[in-house]
Every structure is written in C-alpha cells, then in structure tokens.
Amino acid sequence: MMVVSFKKQLLISAAIFAMMAHPVFAEQLEPLAEEAASAAAQSNTPIASQAIVIEKQPMVDLLQSGKVDGVGLQDPEGIYNFYKSQNFDYFWTDGEKPENNSKKALELLKDSWQHGLNPANYHVQTLGQRMEQDEFTNSIAFEILMSDAMARYAKDMTGMRVTARSIGEDTKSWRRGLGAEAALNLLVTNSNPQKAYEDLIPPSKLYPILQSELKALHEDMKKHPQTVNKQIAFPGLIYPGRTHPAVALIRARFDIEADKKSPPEFYDEKLIERIKLFQKANGLKPDGIIGQRTIEAINQGRRDKLVKILANLERLRWMNPALPDKYILVNVPAMTLWAFEDDKIVFEMPIIVGKPSWPTNSFKTDVTGIRFNPSWYVPPSIKTKDLLPELQKDPDYLAKKNLQLLYYTSDGAKEISARDVKWAEVTEADLKNMAMIQNPGNENPLGKIRVLMPNQYNIYLHDTNSPELFTKDFRALSHGCIRLAEPRRVANFILDRNGDWSEERLSNILSKKNTIEVMSTQTIPVFILYQTIWQDGKGDLIFGQDIYKNDEKLIAELVKKNKLPVPIN
C-alpha cells in the first residue's frame, strides 16, 4: 500500500475544502484535486479518510509513541487498538474540556485505596491538576493518560500485581489481569465508569467485609497514630484458675478488671471467657489456655492487621470469579477443607497441612478420581531430607518401617536389600535411581484413600495412619500433602455423581485391600488457597496466623513496587 506523506495529506485536504468553499477555486485547484484522487486511489484510502487521518494525526502519533509527558503507557498496543476501534475519537473530553465520565473515573481511581491499591499508580495527581486548570490544555495528553490510568486500574483489579515467581506462587493457577483494550471496551457501553467496572470487584462475600475492615483501620490510624501494642513475653502455658504475673498484663490489654476478692494476677472466669472469644476470632482453639500462639496473637498490632487485610484482598483478586457448581476449597492457614455444591457448603472438616519447613503450595487443579488402598512412593524430598540420614545411621530403618527398596537399571527395576547399600556414599543423584515404597496396610501414611489430582508439586489429599493428630490445635505437621479427617466423606463427595457409586461399594473396595482406582465421571476443581482471614460457619470473621509468613513476603514485594496505599511501617 502506498503511504501518503503528512504534507501531501494537508495539500489534499486543503484542496477538498477549498473546492467545497468557493466554486471560483474549483477550476484553479482541479489539477490538485486530480492528484488527490490519484494518491488516494494508489493508497487504497478514500479522500474523506485522508482528512480524518490529518485531523487526528496528533493523537495517533502520541499513541504510537507509547508515552505521555515522559510516562510510559502500561499497554500501548492495547490502548492504541481501543482508540483505533473508536476511530480515534475523544473519549474522556470533548476536545476542549473534560467530560463528566472523566470526573467519575478520577473519583474511582482516588478511591482505589479501599481495595488496597495505590492511587498514585493511576496518575491521579497529574489528572486532577489538569482538570482543575483554569484553561484546559493538551486534551490529547489528558485523554490518553486517563485511558492508561483506567487500564492499569482494571488490570490490577483482575489479577496479580507481582510476578508469581517473586513470591513463590504457582505461575498457572491465578489470573494475570485484563489487557488495556478489553478493559477500555467495558467503558464504551456505560457512561459511568464506576458502574462499568463494578463487575471487576471479586464476588466473594469476604471481599466487602475486608474493605470495611480496611476503612475502619484507616480511621483508627488517623485518630490514634501513636498507638503501639506493648509486647508480652511468652510466660509458658497459663491455665484457667491459675495465678501468674503475665495475667495482669493480659488483663490490661483487654481492659478487664479483676474481681475485688482476687489479685489482678489471678486468671478468673471473666478473663477466661474473653480469652476464649479472642482465640476463636484468631483461628485458635477456644480452650482458654494461654499458650505461645495465643500470646503471639495478643501481641499483634495494627500493622499486623493491616498486612493481613491487604494481603487477603490481593489474593481474592487473583481468583477467577466464575466458580463451578461443585468444587473443593482448602485454606492452608485455617487448616480446614470445605466442599461446595450449588453455592452451598456441603461439609467442612479439619485437615493437616505442611509444616513451615515443608509448606503446602497454593494452586488450582482438578480431581479426577480416587485411589483406594494406595501404595506410598516416598517423594524425592523426603528420601533426601528424612530417610537418607536415618539409613546412614541404621541400614535396617526401611525394614523396620516395612518399606520396600527398588533399584532402577537399564534392565528395569529390581528389589534390593538396604544392607547391601553403602549409604554413607549415596548421593542425591543415586537416590533418583531408587524407589522406596510402602505397600497398602496400616503402616501406610496415605491411609486407605488417596485423591487423584495431578499437579507439579506432588501434593494431594489423602487419608492418614495417624488420626490422633487431628485433636491438635496447630496442624501444620505434614511434608506438604493434605491429610483428611474424614476421607470417606471426601471420596463420596467426589464420586457421588457416578451412577453406580454407593457407601456399600466404598466399604467393599476397602475390605479387599488391593489397590483400585475409581475415576470420577465429572472432574471436580480443587483450590488450595492461602487466606489468613476467613469466615467461620456463622459468618464471623477469623484473623488467622500467617503460618508460612506468606503475607509478609507478598506485602514486601508490593512495597518494593510502590503498590500499597499507605506506608506499611
């Protein structure tokens, strides 16, 4: 296609307008008009379009530069494509002054802190100053900068604002955010940007509650900026009805006076009830016993609460809002599993998750079925970190645990005796050629039921041969996998849409003790989440513990990128 120079476009346009303006000029400018027609024909562009291009060339040039006043556009191609689809018309101004939609857009951007976002990321100061000028100048720069701001906001509302790898998150499970063209297209059919972007807000019932908590905390920090919690040292376990010097400090923290007949150091009934409520609200066992985790929760101040609120708002925006009619949700810090069907909780149960040194990853995958009476193939990490040191001390360790040892060669796998291996010389590479297997039975740590849910982390839901651990308050005890308190219930939930499935068939399969896989006729998504704030069955808000310090990691990364609305320290 022939490209017509900008100068020639001006000449062509001038010729057209002159001929239209006065017939006297027609004869004089006829040769130029013919040239215009010839140029237009060669460029495959109608003459009228040439005039449009001339009129809007400054906007096209600025869009193609990818910058406005030295500020790089986040998605220049997306913004360009949007304006191209709109014939490069103004969207936020009439060419001379801001339209009403731009004022509403600026209000939305200024209020972005209520989502835990930083208004400074959306040019609010520059846009506000340009709006308030007595003489509105450079409308094109304002136009494109406003579109960039709204595109940035929409992207941040619909996905991760940090790279998954920078915080150790799964790279495929969470949303990346809307592109600029899609974000701006949402605004075309609704003149009110606030209404147009309503659907960007996560539909989670928890999200507006966290927003209210953020606003309340913001107000409290403004009114009482100097308030700091005085830290209480862990004094050892304090049981109800006992006397301890730390009780007086705890009593002062909760502003509960002692009974006149007792000293303030006595742990009385009034304080016991208050501590139980506090424990429940912080995801702890409400037994009234003041232990280390209760003291840690008491010591948390407003900064700790702010970190939790911001981190949890952030993660809720990562999730795809379109949930299926049936799914399983695991919240690692809550150490709890919920089964959902038709937007209702079918059941919940306690679970055991990975210990801080062996954390359970957060990710989304699909459940495909159940393996009954499974064998346990020891994962590489456990072979290296746990079993190798034990075998170096005692070569009979595998035999005592009823574990089979296989060695892989070019001829296949063969069983060998652990006594024939020089364990002191075995390397991590050598272990890759060895399989350590626990056959089905009472000693198998997978118990009798393993959920089939393919993932790169080798993490799955399963039964356990140590059910007594579910009585513990702190259940971050596994090597990463998720142990189920009621595995049969989970198996039935997964398989209940199989036409021939029943509780009787489940019992029959388990009684045979040989490994059997039953595939589900419907794949069921499972979400492994890390939410340190959640709601209990009654809808009460629980501020749990950041057991892996993932909240702190996320907030530190957001601080580095200037993504937070307030100084976190």
Provide the annotated active-site residues.
Answer: 462, 481
Q: Are 310 and 555 in contact (CB under 8 A)?
A: yes
Distance in angstroms (rounded) separating the CA atoms of residues 160 and 313: 11
Which is nearest to 308 in space by CA: 385, 228, 217? 217
Q: In angstroms, rounded to a whole number, what is the distance separating the alpha carbons of residues 526 and 531?
A: 15
For CA atoms 503, 508, 510, 516, the dihedral sign is negative
Q: What angle do CA 100, 104, 105 make, to 5 degrees?
A: 110
Q: What Rg, from alpha-carbon coordinates, does the chain have?
A: 33
Q: CA-based angle 285:289:294, to the nearest 5? A: 65
Q: Please check whether residue 528 is in contact with residue 554, taking contact to mean a CB–CB distance below 8 angstroms.
A: no
From residue 433, how far is each of 274, 348, 383, 407 by CA, in Å?
A: 57, 40, 11, 6
Phi and psi of 350, rounded to 5°? -70, 150
> Which residues are paired to 409 by β-bridges?
412
Task: Say which amino acid occupies 502.
Answer: S
Please state, in angstroms and rounded to a whole number, the distance separating the CA atoms of residues 175 and 332: 20
Per-position DSSP letters for 335-396, written without gaps between them: TEEEEEETTEEEEEEEEEEE-TTSPPPPEEEEEEEEEES--EE--HHHIIIIIHHHHHH-TT
- CB-based contacts of 176, cutoff 8 Å, min separation 6: 159, 160
- From residue 40, alpha-carbon distances to 16, 33, 51, 568 in Å are 12, 10, 11, 60
Look at phi and psi of residue 87 and say left if phi exceeds 0, alpha if psi is from -120 to 50, else beta: left
- In sign, the C-alpha dihedral spanning 43, 49, 54, 57 is negative
